[in-house]
Amino acid sequence: MDEKLNILYVANSRIPTEKAHGKQIAETCQALADKGCNILLLLPARKNYITENIFDFYGLRRNFAVKKLTCLDLLFLPFGKSLFFFIQSVTFALSTIFFCLWTNKKFDIVYTRDLLLAGLLSFGRRAIFVEIHDFPAKSTFIHHMMWRKVKGIIVISQGLKEELVKQGITDEKILVARDGVRLEEFDIDISRKEARLRLNLDLYKKIVLYTGHLYDWKGADLLAEAATNMSLDVRIYIVGGTAEDVTNFKRKFKAPNLFIVGHRPPQEIPIWLKAADLLVLPNRADKKISSHYTSPLKLFEYMASDTPMIVSDLPSLREVVGDNEAVFFTPGNKNDLTQKIITGINNKESLTAGARLVQTTVRQYSWENRSKLIKKFILDQ
């Protein structure tokens, strides 16, 4: 594992971003660099309201390089999103191809989460590794061609691997590397009271917390609806989401004990998790990305926080935690979620034991361990 690897990581993403994929990409680059890989992260030069650089925004060491390539970016306009995304993707792909053709830097592999880029770059001489976080509703000839031409496929869940195997991809070509957490971020010596003082939260109310995005399949709306079934002594906090989504969410959900905070800096999230009495991961079951494919960063952050969890009973989440480590509720069932929250608040000691047990489980899901798996997989292909 001491062998050096020169990796070109290509990500067609606005980074830094308030969305989880930006943190996942940044953490992957840092962890691989820690394992002796020389990483160049290639990004599109896009308009970004976040002015901090990637290292400061995510609290990273400067152990990898970042380069931004020209693309036609019209996505900041309030219309034509689908068309403008297509234009941006194609122009960034062309810039990437020209960069790979003309750069004098030597890369052993190209690593990407972008299927378009993986497919186009696989026609070149470089070894391509693609990381998959979702599965197409209908796989096409192009998908099959790309899956077969790339050197290796990294997936974030067993559910995704099973789908690929059904499509005829050999088991040896697929690595399951679930998402992870930077454990030291959550190894902070701070009490619940101190965390609440820092965040200006009530010291005596019960706090139930969700952190993450506001996509429908994430289930934050279910938790917002459940707030109306609880006493005012229980406060529901939802932390995360884009500015537009937060505005729409606030317009739709209103309750005196519901607090929609919006996006907060990544370095603040461990304090929020420490401040809560219960953490909720309410993913819905009606989309496979939620039920079988996802590997939520928030799950591993919850696990590392030492705060009890209430989690949707889904195969994707049971890949990581079991009945002794979390309380499960029926996905999409507001009444069951409400009852599990009320029971958890009234019987907190029983949940605390699970939170302590999960502290051991989460150790295997560090970004460091994930990077070891990925580097070994690349070298073995």
Q: Is 286 exposed, middle or buried (0-12, 13-18, 19+ CB in 10 A)?
A: exposed
The secondary structure of residue 323, as a DSSP letter, is T
Residue 110 DSSP SS3: strand
| Whether 121 and 170 share a structural domain | yes
Question: Reduced to 3 states, what is the DSSP secondary structure of residue 368?
Answer: helix
Same domain, 151 and 218: no
CA dihedral 16, 22, 27, 30 (to 10 degrees): -50
pLDDT at 359: 80
Question: Given this model, what pLDDT does residue 373 score?
Answer: 96
Q: What is the mean pLDDT of the chain?
A: 92
One domain for residues 201 and 316:
yes
Specify the CATH number for the domain of residue 146.
3.40.50.2000
Identify the three-state secondary structure at position 57. Answer: helix
Say if residue 282 is in the same domain as residue 214. Answer: yes
Element (H, E) at 240: none
Same domain for 288 and 308, yes or no, is yes
pLDDT one-digit tens code per residue, 41-80: 999 999 998 999 999 999 999 999 999 999 999 988 888 8
Do 375 and 293 reside in the same domain of the chain? no
- Residue 217 confidence (pLDDT): 94
- Residue 122 has a pLDDT of 76
Are 85 and 170 in the same domain? yes
Task: Give pLDDT tens digits for 300-357.
Answer: 999 999 899 999 999 999 999 998 889 999 999 999 999 999 998 887 776 776 667 7
Sheet holding 37-44, edge to edge: 65-69, 37-44, 5-10, 109-112, 127-132, 152-155, 174-176
Q: Using only C-alpha atoms, what is the Rg of the chain? A: 21
Measured CA to CA, the distance from residue 226 to residue 286 in angstroms comes to: 19
Total domains present in the chain: 2
Mean pLDDT lowest for which of 176-180, 357-361, 366-370?
357-361
Instruction: List the domain range (segments joined by +) for residue 222.
Output: 185-364
pLDDT band at 117 (very low <50, low <70, confident <90, very high): confident
Average pLDDT over residues 363-375: 95
Residues 6+ apart with CB under 8 A from 86: none
Domain co-membership, 158 together with 210:
no
Residues 208 and 350 in one domain: yes
Task: Please provide the DSSP assignment of 91-104 as one string.
Answer: HHHHHHHHHHHH--
CA distance 19 to 29: 17
58 near 266, Cβ under 8 Å? yes
| Separation CA 239–CA 256 (nearest Å) | 16
122 with 196, same domain: the answer is no
Q: Averaged over 120-126, what is the pLDDT?
A: 75
Domain shared by 176 and 104, yes or no: yes
**pLDDT tens digits, one per residue of 25-37:** 999 999 999 999 9
Shared domain check, 97 and 144? yes
| pLDDT tens digits for range 229-282 | 898 999 999 999 988 899 999 999 999 999 999 999 999 999 999 999 999 999
pLDDT band at 10 (very low <50, low <70, confident <90, very high): very high
Residue 126: φ, ψ to 5°: -80, 150
